[in-house]
Amino acid sequence: MRMRFDILTLFPNMFSSPLRESILGKAIERGLIQIQTINIRDFTLDKHQVVDDTPYGGGQGMVMKVEPVARAIESVKAQNSPVWTIYLTPQGTPFNQDLARRLSTQPHLILLCGRYEGVDERVKDLFVDEEISIGDYVLTGGELAAMVLVDAVSRFIPGVLGSDRSAVEDSFFNSLLEYPQYTRPFDFKGRCVPEVLLSGNHSAISLWRRKEALRRTWVRRPDLLEKANLSGEDRKLLEEIRKSNDDCGLGNADCAAGSSTRDKS
Ligand code: 4GX
Protein backbone atom coordinates (compact mmCIF):
# COMPACT_ATOMS: atom_id res chain seq x y z
CA MET A 1 0.00 0.00 0.00
CA ARG A 2 1.82 3.07 -1.23
CA MET A 3 1.51 6.36 0.61
CA ARG A 4 0.59 9.44 -1.35
CA PHE A 5 1.60 13.06 -0.68
CA ASP A 6 0.00 15.96 -2.56
CA ILE A 7 1.87 19.21 -1.92
CA LEU A 8 0.01 22.46 -2.65
CA THR A 9 2.45 25.31 -3.22
CA LEU A 10 3.21 28.43 -5.22
CA PHE A 11 6.77 27.12 -5.76
CA PRO A 12 6.56 23.51 -7.01
CA ASN A 13 10.13 23.62 -8.38
CA MET A 14 11.48 23.77 -4.82
CA PHE A 15 10.50 20.10 -4.38
CA SER A 16 12.09 18.57 -7.46
CA SER A 17 15.54 17.76 -6.13
CA PRO A 18 15.28 17.42 -2.31
CA LEU A 19 12.60 14.72 -2.39
CA ARG A 20 13.95 12.85 -5.40
CA GLU A 21 17.51 12.12 -4.34
CA SER A 22 18.84 9.18 -2.37
CA ILE A 23 16.49 7.22 -0.11
CA LEU A 24 13.26 9.03 -1.01
CA GLY A 25 14.14 8.89 -4.71
CA LYS A 26 14.51 5.12 -4.48
CA ALA A 27 11.26 4.85 -2.50
CA ILE A 28 9.47 6.71 -5.32
CA GLU A 29 11.09 4.49 -7.99
CA ARG A 30 10.03 1.41 -6.08
CA GLY A 31 6.45 2.69 -5.77
CA LEU A 32 6.47 2.90 -1.97
CA ILE A 33 5.59 6.59 -1.91
CA GLN A 34 4.12 9.00 -4.44
CA ILE A 35 4.85 12.73 -4.22
CA GLN A 36 2.93 15.17 -6.38
CA THR A 37 3.24 18.95 -6.38
CA ILE A 38 0.29 21.09 -7.32
CA ASN A 39 0.74 24.74 -8.24
CA ILE A 40 -1.94 26.77 -6.47
CA ARG A 41 -1.60 29.44 -9.17
CA ASP A 42 -3.03 26.96 -11.70
CA PHE A 43 -6.33 27.19 -9.81
CA THR A 44 -6.86 30.91 -10.28
CA LEU A 45 -9.56 31.96 -12.76
CA ASP A 46 -8.54 35.56 -13.43
CA LYS A 47 -6.32 36.78 -16.22
CA HIS A 48 -3.47 37.81 -13.93
CA GLN A 49 -3.59 34.63 -11.83
CA VAL A 50 -3.70 36.52 -8.54
CA VAL A 51 -3.14 34.31 -5.47
CA ASP A 52 -2.81 36.94 -2.72
CA ASP A 53 -4.52 40.09 -1.51
CA THR A 54 -4.19 42.73 1.23
CA PRO A 55 -5.49 41.81 4.70
CA TYR A 56 -8.91 43.02 5.85
CA GLY A 57 -8.35 45.44 8.72
CA GLY A 58 -5.08 46.61 7.25
CA GLY A 59 -1.54 45.77 8.26
CA GLN A 60 1.62 44.53 6.66
CA GLY A 61 2.01 42.02 3.87
CA MET A 62 -0.35 39.90 1.84
CA VAL A 63 -2.69 37.02 2.61
CA MET A 64 -3.22 34.00 0.36
CA LYS A 65 -6.70 34.10 -1.12
CA VAL A 66 -9.20 31.39 -0.20
CA GLU A 67 -10.60 30.52 -3.65
CA PRO A 68 -7.48 29.23 -5.49
CA VAL A 69 -6.44 27.17 -2.44
CA ALA A 70 -9.98 25.82 -2.05
CA ARG A 71 -10.14 24.80 -5.70
CA ALA A 72 -6.71 23.15 -5.51
CA ILE A 73 -7.73 21.11 -2.45
CA GLU A 74 -11.06 20.18 -4.00
CA SER A 75 -9.32 18.98 -7.16
CA VAL A 76 -7.29 16.52 -5.07
CA LYS A 77 -10.31 15.42 -3.04
CA ALA A 78 -12.35 14.86 -6.23
CA GLN A 79 -10.14 11.82 -6.88
CA ASN A 80 -12.06 10.45 -3.82
CA SER A 81 -9.94 8.20 -1.46
CA PRO A 82 -9.73 9.46 2.15
CA VAL A 83 -7.22 12.26 2.62
CA TRP A 84 -5.84 14.12 5.66
CA THR A 85 -5.07 17.81 5.06
CA ILE A 86 -2.21 19.54 6.87
CA TYR A 87 -1.25 23.22 6.98
CA LEU A 88 2.39 23.96 7.91
CA THR A 89 2.56 26.91 10.29
CA PRO A 90 4.47 28.06 13.39
CA GLN A 91 1.02 28.09 15.09
CA GLY A 92 0.62 24.31 14.68
CA THR A 93 1.23 21.29 16.89
CA PRO A 94 5.00 20.74 17.29
CA PHE A 95 6.20 18.06 14.89
CA ASN A 96 8.11 15.15 16.39
CA GLN A 97 8.88 11.47 15.82
CA ASP A 98 5.60 10.29 17.38
CA LEU A 99 3.58 12.56 15.10
CA ALA A 100 5.61 11.37 12.07
CA ARG A 101 4.78 7.77 12.96
CA ARG A 102 1.08 8.55 13.37
CA LEU A 103 0.93 10.35 9.99
CA SER A 104 2.67 7.40 8.30
CA THR A 105 -0.49 5.33 8.92
CA GLN A 106 -2.49 7.67 6.64
CA PRO A 107 -2.83 6.55 3.01
CA HIS A 108 -2.91 10.08 1.59
CA LEU A 109 -1.79 13.48 2.89
CA ILE A 110 -2.35 16.95 1.45
CA LEU A 111 0.36 19.40 2.58
CA LEU A 112 -0.60 23.04 2.15
CA CYS A 113 2.35 25.45 1.99
CA GLY A 114 1.63 29.06 2.90
CA ARG A 115 3.62 32.11 1.78
CA TYR A 116 3.43 35.78 2.79
CA GLU A 117 1.38 36.28 6.01
CA GLY A 118 -0.31 32.89 5.56
CA VAL A 119 -3.66 31.74 4.19
CA ASP A 120 -7.10 33.23 4.76
CA GLU A 121 -8.42 31.75 8.03
CA ARG A 122 -11.41 30.23 6.21
CA VAL A 123 -9.08 27.82 4.36
CA LYS A 124 -8.19 26.32 7.75
CA ASP A 125 -11.79 26.34 9.01
CA LEU A 126 -13.15 24.57 5.95
CA PHE A 127 -10.36 22.36 4.59
CA VAL A 128 -7.54 21.79 7.07
CA ASP A 129 -7.63 18.80 9.45
CA GLU A 130 -4.42 19.56 11.34
CA GLU A 131 -1.92 22.43 11.68
CA ILE A 132 1.69 21.38 12.24
CA SER A 133 4.86 23.36 13.09
CA ILE A 134 8.34 21.98 12.48
CA GLY A 135 9.83 24.30 15.09
CA ASP A 136 9.82 27.68 16.80
CA TYR A 137 11.34 29.78 14.04
CA VAL A 138 9.92 31.55 11.01
CA LEU A 139 10.58 30.32 7.47
CA THR A 140 9.87 32.24 4.29
CA GLY A 141 7.16 29.69 3.44
CA GLY A 142 5.77 26.28 4.32
CA GLU A 143 7.70 24.45 1.56
CA LEU A 144 10.78 23.50 3.58
CA ALA A 145 8.54 22.46 6.47
CA ALA A 146 6.54 20.21 4.12
CA MET A 147 9.78 18.59 2.90
CA VAL A 148 10.86 17.92 6.48
CA LEU A 149 7.51 16.29 7.19
CA VAL A 150 7.52 14.15 4.02
CA ASP A 151 11.05 12.98 4.79
CA ALA A 152 10.42 12.05 8.43
CA VAL A 153 7.06 10.38 7.66
CA SER A 154 8.41 8.39 4.69
CA ARG A 155 11.07 6.73 6.87
CA PHE A 156 8.22 4.91 8.64
CA ILE A 157 6.81 3.39 5.43
CA PRO A 158 7.83 -0.27 5.34
CA GLY A 159 10.66 -0.83 2.84
CA VAL A 160 11.71 2.82 2.50
CA LEU A 161 14.85 2.36 4.61
CA GLY A 162 15.61 -1.03 3.06
CA SER A 163 14.77 -4.45 4.41
CA ASP A 164 17.35 -4.51 7.21
CA ARG A 165 16.45 -1.21 8.87
CA SER A 166 13.37 0.42 10.24
CA ALA A 167 12.68 3.82 11.72
CA VAL A 168 11.05 2.10 14.68
CA GLU A 169 14.50 0.89 15.79
CA ASP A 170 16.05 4.37 15.75
CA SER A 171 17.28 5.23 19.17
CA PHE A 172 15.51 8.59 19.16
CA PHE A 173 12.36 6.55 19.09
CA ASN A 174 13.43 5.10 22.42
CA SER A 175 14.02 8.61 23.80
CA LEU A 176 17.83 8.50 23.88
CA LEU A 177 20.33 10.26 21.64
CA GLU A 178 22.58 8.06 19.49
CA TYR A 179 26.01 6.85 20.64
CA PRO A 180 29.11 8.10 18.74
CA GLN A 181 30.04 6.27 15.53
CA TYR A 182 33.52 5.79 14.01
CA THR A 183 34.98 4.32 10.86
CA ARG A 184 38.52 4.12 9.46
CA PRO A 185 41.15 5.43 9.88
CA PHE A 186 41.84 4.45 13.49
CA ASP A 187 43.99 7.57 14.07
CA PHE A 188 42.98 10.85 12.44
CA LYS A 189 45.31 13.72 13.38
CA GLY A 190 45.95 12.04 16.73
CA ARG A 191 42.27 11.56 17.52
CA CYS A 192 41.75 7.83 17.96
CA VAL A 193 38.79 5.51 17.95
CA PRO A 194 37.90 4.22 21.44
CA GLU A 195 39.78 0.93 21.95
CA VAL A 196 36.71 -1.02 23.06
CA LEU A 197 35.27 -0.77 19.53
CA LEU A 198 38.27 -2.73 18.20
CA SER A 199 38.12 -5.35 20.95
CA GLY A 200 35.69 -7.71 19.22
CA ASN A 201 34.00 -8.04 22.62
CA HIS A 202 30.38 -7.53 21.63
CA SER A 203 28.94 -7.28 25.11
CA ALA A 204 31.60 -4.71 26.09
CA ILE A 205 30.82 -2.76 22.91
CA SER A 206 27.07 -2.80 23.62
CA LEU A 207 27.67 -1.63 27.17
CA TRP A 208 29.99 1.18 26.01
CA ARG A 209 27.46 2.32 23.40
CA ARG A 210 24.61 2.31 25.88
CA LYS A 211 26.69 4.31 28.33
CA GLU A 212 27.72 6.89 25.70
CA ALA A 213 24.09 7.22 24.56
CA LEU A 214 23.09 7.85 28.16
CA ARG A 215 26.00 10.27 28.68
CA ARG A 216 25.11 12.31 25.62
CA THR A 217 21.47 12.43 26.51
CA TRP A 218 22.31 13.45 30.08
CA VAL A 219 24.63 16.23 28.88
CA ARG A 220 22.66 17.54 25.89
CA ARG A 221 19.01 16.62 26.40
CA PRO A 222 18.27 15.84 30.07
CA ASP A 223 14.58 16.41 29.25
CA LEU A 224 14.62 13.18 27.21
CA LEU A 225 15.96 11.14 30.12
CA GLU A 226 12.84 11.90 32.19
CA LYS A 227 10.67 10.22 29.54
CA ALA A 228 13.08 7.37 28.73
CA ASN A 229 12.40 3.79 29.71
CA LEU A 230 15.53 3.15 31.81
CA SER A 231 16.60 -0.26 33.10
CA GLY A 232 18.40 -0.89 36.38
CA GLU A 233 21.63 -1.19 34.43
CA ASP A 234 20.95 2.18 32.74
CA ARG A 235 20.57 3.80 36.15
CA LYS A 236 23.83 2.26 37.29
CA LEU A 237 25.59 3.60 34.16
CA LEU A 238 24.08 7.05 34.72
CA GLU A 239 25.39 6.99 38.28
CA GLU A 240 28.89 6.25 36.94
CA ILE A 241 28.53 9.06 34.41
CA ARG A 242 27.49 11.55 37.10
CA LYS A 243 30.42 10.54 39.31
CA SER A 244 33.13 10.56 36.66
CA ASN A 245 34.79 13.61 35.21
CA ASP A 246 34.65 12.10 31.75
CA ASP A 247 34.38 14.52 28.85
CA CYS A 248 31.69 12.90 26.70
CA GLY A 249 33.93 10.14 25.37
CA LEU A 250 36.17 12.59 23.55
CA GLY A 251 39.26 11.68 25.56
CA ASN A 252 41.88 10.05 23.37
CA ALA A 253 44.64 9.34 25.83
CA ASP A 254 46.24 6.21 24.34
CA CYS A 255 46.25 7.26 20.75
CA ALA A 256 49.91 7.44 19.82
CA ALA A 257 51.38 3.95 20.19
CA GLY A 258 50.96 1.36 17.45
CA SER A 259 47.95 2.98 15.86
CA SER A 260 48.82 2.05 12.27
CA THR A 261 48.73 -1.66 13.11
CA ARG A 262 45.12 -1.24 14.20
CA ASP A 263 43.89 -0.04 10.81
CA LYS A 264 41.59 -2.68 9.41
CA SER A 265 42.71 -2.10 5.83
N1 4GX B 1 6.73 25.23 10.76
N2 4GX B 1 6.20 28.98 8.01
C3 4GX B 1 3.95 29.23 7.05
C4 4GX B 1 3.14 31.40 6.27
C5 4GX B 1 2.37 31.82 7.47
C6 4GX B 1 2.61 33.04 8.12
C7 4GX B 1 1.87 33.40 9.20
C8 4GX B 1 0.67 31.37 9.00
C9 4GX B 1 0.89 32.56 9.64
C10 4GX B 1 6.64 27.05 9.54
C11 4GX B 1 7.23 26.44 10.68
C12 4GX B 1 6.90 28.41 9.06
C13 4GX B 1 6.53 30.35 7.59
C14 4GX B 1 5.18 28.35 7.20
C15 4GX B 1 5.28 31.20 7.44
N16 4GX B 1 1.40 30.99 7.93
N17 4GX B 1 5.85 26.14 8.99
N18 4GX B 1 4.31 30.55 6.57
N19 4GX B 1 8.08 26.99 11.53
O20 4GX B 1 7.76 29.05 9.62
O21 4GX B 1 5.89 25.03 9.75
**pLDDT of 83-135, one tens digit each?**
999 999 999 999 999 999 999 999 999 999 999 999 999 999 999 999 999 99
Say whether 129 is catalytic: no
pTM for the whole structure: 0.92
For residue 265, the model assigns a pLDDT of: 46
Q: Which residue in the list 155, 209, 215, 216 is annotated as catalytic? A: 155
79 CA distance to ligand 1 middle (Å): 28
Q: Is the CB of 157 under 6 A from ligand 1?
A: no
Q: Are 3 and 154 in contact, with CB atoms under 8 Å apart?
A: yes
Say whether 117 is catalytic: yes
137 CA distance to ligand 1 middle (Å): 9
Say whether 46 is catalytic: no
142 CA distance to ligand 1 middle (Å): 5
197-239 pLDDT, tens per residue? 999 999 999 999 999 999 999 999 999 999 999 999 999 999 9
Q: Is the CB of 142 under 6 A from ligand 1?
A: yes
Please state, in angstroms and rounded to a whole number, the distance separating the CA atoms of residues 91 and 52: 20
